[in-house]
Amino acid sequence: MRSGLLLALCALLACNKGDEISFAQFNATSDTVLVEVGAPEELPAVEGDLHSSTGEVVVGLVEVSPGGGPIGTVYDIVVVVDNENENDVDRVSVQARSPGRGADEYDLTQDSADEGYYKLRLVSVGEEGEQRSDEVTVRLWSEKVTEESSSSEE
């Protein structure tokens, strides 16, 4: 009986060997907040709603604290996915876009006690006296598993 169960388990695990994992964006591509980098003093937190792919349903929120500050300010970015949608989100990232500097993408860390809570800490960089508005775009990702074709395994 045990050997049959073990064989069935091995067969089940082997079925997933050729699967390929990719991610599809779950939320609206316009879920963005602005952060004032190079402000003379720290500013109040900025926050915004996160929306479904159509933009019609609120699925969570983002908060960046502080909402601005001098060069070298440490920013906490927190994303909270609503309880109804947290099982649909497998990964969260933010894209920070600075005028004249381009864009960088960062993955947030998921909290071990709340699967809908994600956090990242970033430090602003820039030249002395520089002031700019950086766009922080939140991306919620759903995992998609697709089977590789048998011809790729040959």
pLDDT of residue 18: 61
CB within 8 Å of 80: residues ≥ 6 apart: 60, 61, 116, 117, 118
> How far is it, in rounded angstroms, from Cα 3 to Cα 5?
5
At 127-142, the pLDDT tens digits run: 989 999 999 999 999 9
Q: Could you give the 3-state DSSP secondary structure of residue 100? A: coil
Q: Which of 30, 33, 25, 23 is nearest to 96 (CA)?
A: 33
In whole numbers, what is the pLDDT of the chain averaged over residues? 88
What number is the average pLDDT over the span 47-70? 97
pLDDT of residue 21: 85
What number is the average pLDDT over the span 63-74? 98
- The CATH number given to 21-144 is 2.60.40
| pTM for this predicted structure | 0.81
pLDDT of residue 16: 55
Domain extent listing, the chain: 21-144
